[in-house]
Every structure is written in structure tokens, then in C-alpha cells.
Amino acid sequence: MKGLLRYAITRILMTIPMLFILLTIVFLVLRVMPGDPVSAMLGAHAPERVIEEKKEELGLNKPILVQYVNYLGQLARFDLGNSMVLKQRVSAPIKEKLPATIELTFWGMVFTLLIGVPLGAYAANKRRTGRDFGIRLYGNIAYCIPVYWMGLMLQLIFGVYLKWLPVAGRTSPRMLSSQFSKTGFYLFDTLLAGNMRAFNDVAIHLLLPSLTLGIVLSGIFVRLTRANMLDVLKSDYVLAARARGVSEKLVVYKHGLKNAFIPILTMLGLQFAILLAGAVLTETTFSWPGMGRLLMERIYLRDYPTVQGVIVVFALMVSVISLMVDLLYAAIDPRVKY
Amino acid sequence: MNSTVKAKYSPASFLGAFLKKISKANKTYGVEWWIMIAGIVIVLFMLFTAFFPQVLAPYLPGDQDAGTQLEAPSMQHLFGTDNLNRDIFSRVIYGSRTILGVAFAAAFLSSIIGIPLGLISGYAGGVFDRILSLVMDSIYSFPGLILAIAFAAMLGPGVVNITLAVSVIYIPTYFRLVRGQVLTLKEELYVEAARSIGAGDSAILFKYIFPNVIATVAIVFSLNIADAIMTEAALSYIGLGLPAGIPDWGMDISIGKSFLPSGVWWMITFPGLAIILLALGFTMLGEGLAEILNPRLLEK
């Protein structure tokens, strides 16, 4: 346990340089490249004097190095600063939008695993048959589907033709989210409030976007599960289980899948980055009010501090997930010692 | 330097061995072989449409056929027409040139930066290697598309800009791959042998180590192009790609999006299928190559 704690602390400390490097890159990209927030804010025809005053106010006339050091100092105090364009703290919109993105990615991941893992295990069991080949083909195709295109296709089928499911937003327009928004995770909030009508409304809004993410990402997991299952099914303990007369189903889906799941779990951390990128595209497709839409809006406004803030939060999310996966890995697999 | 050693690791002999291995593979690998062939066929077909679009496309991508606004697919317009009376079939055909150009250029750019950095970093080791690896790992672990969005937004639309934005995020892919291989290869006996006969660092690196990395790089290059295709299409879908006027699949999908509620399915369906087909072609090619050249690579 002590070793695990030490490992956890080292891992947390290791994410600091990563955050620092990403921040530096984003800071430079935003500052060095053309386009500045002041003209985006005041319009191209604002008088020179007004522009200079605004730059002075925002600290944009200082040398880049000074701006950079100031920004890092601010971050060290866990302060993301103020928006350059709107009169608000950077943390304000992030607090509001982050739960939407987490809710979407969480259910996206659930669908991914629900689709990908059983299909991969089944394909491994039926290896070198027509069904195996078909599932592998599905995996390859799913991996190549642009997530926004999948979203639009599902919108077309379930929204436009069948009219079963809504295609935009987190709730219906007439549903007042103020009645239940406590944590920002609407599915959880509506349950807390005991408002079943709102819960259903939130659930059907969540269904298409998370299913979209799930289908597209399941391709990777089909392949991962299949490859790991093939390794596991060759091992001695599977042979031993078979020799004891354990039924084929139990061998594959209990003995096999349980052991194949550990490497799959480690991949989950890496795939989370892809999931986040997919979420940004899904959000723009489904008008989902999350971090991805926030990022896009503020990029157009040249709101540097908010864009940086969003990137910091994304980077933190990636680090936290990979940390959690590593710790879980250590907890599940008794052979792993730190 | 010993001429026989040199001949063994020359590019020509490497290529010979490569072809020999592939032709042998035909007998031992059933499905993988056909996956690769299918990939090659798709890629060649797409390359053909990119180089000679006029052979297949009945119209120019900007041609407006008056009075055919938002027409469903028919014999005149195989994939239907868009809101500006343009033939979608022709736009899809011409669009392959744009996306292939950007994806190839981006993958090429990231490989010619990533490969030498990986070679040198892995070979040299020390502080330089540690810092560079940390930087590359940081970029690698972050969602690539989001980084590309930041770059593309700041650079503004344009073919060169989008290529740069896409290429930046794939440099670590090549760096990590090559560095990892160099770390094992530099301990090999033949490297030690080369050193013992007085070969210099650059000779060892480029004549003895590099040729052994090429096979893996070829696999990753093909898979990388598939990824770059997806990234390019995504960037232009969210409006950060190319200026209007250049036929582009991602952009056509985003235009079609506003006509979706009225049931116009053809404006988004066909460019999307083209993206899938193209990305699938390169993925199948890469995976077929991987199974044949280095069966363990993709499982890691």
C-alpha cells in the first residue's frame, strides 16, 4: 500500500512537466501567430488610441516573456485569470461546461465498451471464420468513420426520418434546467431532484451523441479485445480450464475475457485522448454545450486566457484519467508491484 | 569500410529483401494478404481520381447547373446536387486531390522532422534525449485534434496552413517509433561490429540503424496518412480548413449539415463515404503491411 501511495505521488508530480510543456506550446502558438484579440473585440476600424489603451489594460503590450511569466505565476496559484473578451473569470464558463463534456464522454465510453469488448471477444473465439472476418472489417470501418459524419447520419435516421430522438442540446427548450442543475451532470441531477420527466428528457438528448462516440470508438476496442483474447486463449490456464471440462462459454467469457481485460484497461487511458477529440466534434455536431463548443467559440473571439484555460483543463483530464487507469491496474492485477 | 557489409545494408538490397518478403508472404498469410491488396486497390483508385479527376467527373467542381438546386441523385447527377446547383459527384471526385495532397504533405513533413529527431535522440541518449522525449510524450498524450484546432485557428485558412497544423501533431508519432527502435537496434551485434571496424556515429546511424527502421516507418506512414485524412476532414468540417472555392469533403459535409433537417441526405452522405473509403484504404494497406513485415507491432 505504501508503495502504491509513493507511486501515485510520483505519477502526479510527473504530470506537471507535461502540463507545463503543453501550456508553453499553446501560449506561444496563441501569441506568436497573427490575429489579436483587441481588433477582434473592437472591430478593425477602432481608432489607434483606443486599441493601445485596451492593450495596456489587458497587459498585451508587455514583452511576451513577461506575459508568459505572469501567466505561469497566476496558474501556480490555481488561477486561470480573466477572459479578455467577456467580463468574466475564465473558470466561470469552464465550470458550467465541463460537466456536459464529462457526461458525454462517460456515456460515450460506456457505449464503446458495450459494443467493442463483446464483439472483439466473440471474434477471437471464432477466429479465422467468416464471422471473425466480418467483425474485424466492422472494427476497421468504424475506426475510419468521421465521428461528426456518424452523428449526422444518426440525426438523419432517428431525428429527421423517424422523429424518435432529439438532435440538439442537452434538454428540450421548455425544460428549465435551473429546476435541477446542481452538479451540472444532468442525468444525476434530475435523479436527485426526483424529476422523472426531466430525467427522460435528458436521457434521450444524451442517447444519440454518446452512441455516436461509442460506435466510432468501438472499432479500436474490437481490435484490442480480439488481439488480447487471442493471446489469453493460448495460455495454460485456459487449457487447464478446458481440461477440467469447463464449458466453452465460461472459458471464453469468464476465464478469458477477465484476463484479457487488463491490457484493455491500460489502453483506455490512451484512448481517452481520442475520446476527448471525438467529443469536441460531437459537441459541434449536436450543439452540445460543452468544452469543445466553448473552445471553438473562444478561438474565434481570440480570447487567449479562456482558450488556454480550456486546454489546461483538457490536459488535466487526460492526466487524471491515465493516473486513475494506472492505479486501477495496480489494484486489479496482483502481479503489479510498485 | 568493408564493402560487403556496406552492400548488405544498401537501400537497393533492402528493397530487394522487402519485395522478396512480401512475395513470400502471399503463401503464408491468407486474409492479411487480401486486406493489403484491397487497401492498395482503394489507394490507387483514389490516387487516380486525384490526378485525373476530369476522366471520371462529368462537371467541374465549381460548375453550376442552373435550376438543379438540391436535386436528389439521378442519372444526370449521380450523387445529386448541392444548394448552389453544383454536381456532388464531381465535387467528391475533385475533392480527393485536396485531401490526399494535404494528408501526404503533412505525413511527409512530420516524418522528415520526427524520424531524424528520433534517430539522434535515441542514439545520443543523455539529457538531450530526456528533454526531447518529455516534450514529444506531452504532445503525444494530448488529444491531437484539439492541438491541431488551436494551430489551424491561429494560422488561418489555407492549404499550407492546414498542412502545417496537421503535421505538427504527428511528429511525436514518428519520433517515438524511431527512438524506441534505435534504443534496441544500437545494442545489436552488427552495430558493435561496425563500430569495431571504425565506422563513425553518422555512418552507424544512417547506414546500419536507419535501414532497419524503414520497414516499421513504412507501416506507420500508411496508418498515419489515414489519420491525417481524418484530421484534415475534421478541421475543414469545423470551418478551420480551406478557403471557399477549393472542393473539400469536410467542408461539403458542414455545408450539407444545414440542409439535413429538410431531409437532404446526399450532400453529407457521399463526401463522408469518400472519407471512410480513403481512410480505410490506407488503414488496410498499413495493417496488411504490418502483419506481413512485423506481426507484433500493432498489438503493442
CATH code, B294: 1.10.3720.10
Answer yes or no: is B8 within a domain: no
Cβ-defined contact of A152 to B151 (cutoff 8 Å): no
Give the integer Cα–Cα distance in Å for A193 and A181. 9
Give the integer Cα–Cα distance in Å for B268 and B249. 9
**Beta bridge partners of residue B87, listed in sequence order:** B81
Give the integer Cα–Cα distance in Å for B271 and B79. 10
Q: Which of A144, A152, A227 sits opposite B260 (nearest CB)?
A: A152
Residues in contact with A238: Cβ distance below 8 Å, sequence separation at least 6, in sequence order: A232, A251, A255, A256
One-letter-per-residue 3-state SS of A243-276: HCCCCHHHHHHHHHHHHHHHHHHHHHHHHHHHHH
Residue B113 half-sphere exposure, CB side, CA atoms within 13 Å? Answer: 15
Contacts of B253 in chain A (CB under 8 A): 146, 148-149, 152
B6 — pLDDT class (breaks 50, 70, 90): very low
How does DSSP classify residue A171?
Answer: S
Residue of B nearest to A128 (CA): B31
Give the integer Cα–Cα distance in Å for A191 and A197. 10
Tally of domains in chain B? 1
Contacts of B134 in chain A (CB under 8 A): 17-18, 21
Give the integer Cα–Cα distance in Å for B88 and B100. 18
Q: Which of A140, A160, A227 sits opposite B260 (nearest CB)?
A: A160
Q: Is A35 left (phi over 0), alpha (psi -120 to 50) or beta?
A: left
**Beta bridge partners of residue B201, listed in sequence order:** none
B7 — pLDDT class (breaks 50, 70, 90): very low
**Angle CA(A292)–CA(A293)–CA(A295) in degrees, nearest 5?**
65
Closest CA to B124 of B186, B181, B198: B186
**Beta bridge partners of residue A82, listed in sequence order:** A89
* Torsion A268-B276-B148-A154 (CA) sign: negative
Q: Do residues A50 and B174 make contact, with C-beta atoms less than 8 angstroms apart?
A: no
How does DSSP classify residue B70?
Answer: T
* Torsion B105-A151-A228-A130 (CA) sign: negative
For chain B, give the mean pLDDT.
Answer: 85
What is the tens place of the pLDDT at every residue in B178-194?
A: 999 999 888 888 888 98
Higher pLDDT, B108 or A30: B108
Cβ-defined contact of B141 to A322 (cutoff 8 Å): yes
Contacts of A141 in chain B (CB under 8 A): 276, 280
B16 — pLDDT class (breaks 50, 70, 90): low
What is the tens place of the pLDDT at every residue in B270-290?
A: 999 999 999 999 999 988 888
For chain A, give the mean pLDDT.
Answer: 83
- Taking the Cβ of residue B237 and every Cβ of chain A, the question of whether any pair is shorter than 8 Å is answered with yes
pLDDT at B126 over 70: yes
Q: Which of B141, B154, B280 sits opposite A140 (nearest CB)?
A: B280
Residue of B nearest to A224 (CA): B299
At position B198, the amino acid (one-letter code) is G
Answer yes or no: is B172 within a domain: yes
Q: Do residues B256 and B264 make contact, with C-beta atoms less than 8 angstroms apart?
A: yes
Answer yes or no: is B2 within a domain: no
| CA distance, residue B296 to nearest chain A CA (Å) | 10
Give the integer Cα–Cα distance in Å for B88 and B57. 10
Q: Which of A29, A35, A140 sits opposite B150 (nearest CB)?
A: A29
Higher pLDDT, A154 or B66: A154
Instruction: Count Cβ atoms within 10 A of the Cβ of residue B201 and give its class: 0-12 exposed, 13-18 middle, 19 or more buried.
Output: exposed
B232 — pLDDT class (breaks 50, 70, 90): very high
Answer yes or no: is B292 within a domain: yes
pLDDT at B234: 94
Query: Between helices A257-285 and A91-125, what is the axis angle to 10°?
Result: 140
Dihedral, A150, B272, B255, A209 alpha carbons, nearest 10: 10
pLDDT at A157: 92
Chain B from 116 to 135: CB within 8 A of any A CB: 134-135
Higher pLDDT, B291 or B200: B200
* Residue appearing with cell numbers 449536436: A286
Q: Do residues B106 and B228 make contact, with C-beta atoms less than 8 angstroms apart?
A: yes
Give the integer Cα–Cα distance in Å for A208 and A214. 10
**Beta bridge partners of residue A89, listed in sequence order:** A82
- Taking the Cβ of residue B144 and every Cβ of chain A, the question of whether any pair is shorter than 8 Å is answered with yes
Give the integer Cα–Cα distance in Å for B247 and B49. 13
Q: Which of A22, A29, A34 sits opposite B142 (nearest CB)?
A: A22
Q: For the residues A296-325, what does the mean pLDDT come to?
A: 85
* Torsion A124-A126-A129-A135 (CA) sign: negative
What is the tens place of the pLDDT at every residue in B19-61?
A: 666 666 555 566 778 888 899 999 999 999 999 988 888 888 8
Q: Give the domain range for residue B251.
A: 14-299
CA distances from B143 to A103, A121, A129, B147, B160 (A): 18, 28, 36, 7, 22
Cβ-defined contact of B153 to A300 (cutoff 8 Å): yes
How does DSSP classify residue B65?
Answer: -
Q: Which grid coordinates belong to B37?
A: 491488396
B132 — pLDDT class (breaks 50, 70, 90): very high
Cβ-defined contact of A22 to B275 (cutoff 8 Å): no
What is the tens place of the pLDDT at every residue in B242-263?
A: 887 788 999 999 999 989 888 8
Give the integer Cα–Cα distance in Å for B233 and B230. 5
Q: For the residues B198-206, what does the mean pLDDT come to?
A: 88
Q: pTM for the complete prediction? A: 0.86
Give the integer Cα–Cα distance in Å for B125 and B106. 28
Answer yes or no: is B134 within a domain: yes
Cβ-defined contact of A276 to B284 (cutoff 8 Å): no
Answer yes or no: is B182 within a domain: yes
Chain B from 151 to 210: CB within 8 A of any A CB: 151, 153-156
pLDDT at A34: 60
A270 — pLDDT class (breaks 50, 70, 90): confident
Q: Do residues A117 and B253 make contact, with C-beta atoms less than 8 angstroms apart?
A: no
What is the tens place of the pLDDT at every residue in A97-138?
A: 999 999 999 999 999 999 999 999 999 888 888 898 899 889
Cβ-defined contact of A280 to B149 (cutoff 8 Å): yes
pLDDT at B9: 53
Give the integer Cα–Cα distance in Å for A8 and A244. 40
pLDDT at B178: 93
Poorest-pLDDT segment among A92-96, A145-149, B167-171, B293-297: B293-297
Task: State phi, psi for A176 to the nearest 5 degrees.
Answer: -85, 110
Residues in contact with A296: Cβ distance below 8 Å, sequence separation at least 6, in sequence order: A280, A284, B149, B238
Classify B81 as helix, strand or coil. strand
Q: Which grid coordinates belong to B141?
A: 498524450
Q: Do residues B279 and B98 make contact, with C-beta atoms less than 8 angstroms apart?
A: no
pLDDT at B3: 44
pLDDT at B5: 46
* Residue appearing with cell numbers 512537466: A17
Which value, in Å, is the radius of gyration of the alpha carbons in chain A?
Answer: 24
Q: Which grid coordinates belong to B268?
A: 453529407
Contacts of B298 in chain A (CB under 8 A): 223, 227
Poorest-pLDDT segment among A97-101, A168-172, B270-274, B295-299: B295-299
Contacts of B155 in chain A (CB under 8 A): 33-34
Task: State phi, psi for B159 to the nearest 5 degrees.
Answer: -65, -45
CA distances from A10 to A335, A336, B136, B300 (A): 20, 16, 20, 25
pLDDT at A218: 92
Q: Do residues B261 and A152 make contact, with C-beta atoms less than 8 angstroms apart?
A: no
pLDDT at B23: 65
- Taking the Cβ of residue B139 and every Cβ of chain A, the question of whether any pair is shorter than 8 Å is answered with yes
B219 — pLDDT class (breaks 50, 70, 90): confident
Give the integer Cα–Cα distance in Å for A272 and A328. 15
Higher pLDDT, A299 or B167: B167
- This complex has an ipTM of 0.85
Answer yes or no: is B9 within a domain: no
pLDDT at B129 over 90: yes
Query: Between helices B249-257 and A147-154, what is the axis angle to 10°?
Result: 30
Answer yes or no: is B157 within a domain: yes
CB count within 10 Å of CB A17 equals 14
pLDDT at A259: 81
pLDDT at A281: 93
Contacts of A231 in chain B (CB under 8 A): 299
Contacts of B250 in chain A (CB under 8 A): 146
Q: Do residues A293 and A76 make contact, with C-beta atoms less than 8 angstroms apart?
A: no
**Which helix (H) or strand (E) covers residue B299, if one does?**
none
Residue of B nearest to A129 (CA): B31
pLDDT at A247 over 70: yes
* Residue appearing with cell numbers 475520446: A275
Q: Do residues A65 and A45 make contact, with C-beta atoms less than 8 angstroms apart?
A: no
pLDDT at B2: 44
B208 — pLDDT class (breaks 50, 70, 90): confident
Poorest-pLDDT segment among A56-70, B76-90, B242-256: A56-70
| CA distance, residue A273 to nearest chain B CA (Å) | 5
